[in-house]
Amino acid sequence: MAEIVNLRQARKQKARAEKEARAEQNRITFGRTKAEKEQTKAERDLAQRRLDFHKRDDNEKP
């Protein structure tokens, strides 16, 4: 005899599995450690400071 399957529960279970797979992919794609985030921020700040130091002040008289 065939096993009786509740289609509503089967759909919900399939949706949960798909959602978990999508979440796992997002963790791989977007997940970064705190140290990695801080390193990126420090590099960005350093680049911005270097750029600011090279700006000319047009208000100064020669």
| Nearest-angstrom CA–CA distance, 41 and 23 | 25
Residue 43 lies in a domain: yes
d(CA 57, CA 34): 37
C-alpha R_g of the chain: 27
Kindly state whether residue 32 falls inside one of the protein's structural domains: yes
Is 38 part of any domain? yes
- Which residue in this structure is represented by tokens 């600011």? 52
Please tell me the predicted confidence (pLDDT) of residue 62: 58
48 lies in some domain: yes
Whether 22 is in a domain gets the answer: no
Domain hosting 35: range is 28-52
10-residue mean pLDDT profile of the chain (62 residues): values are 92 98 93 91 96 82 61
User: In the chain, how many domains are there?
Assistant: 1
Alpha-carbon distance of 41 to 51, in angstroms, equals 15
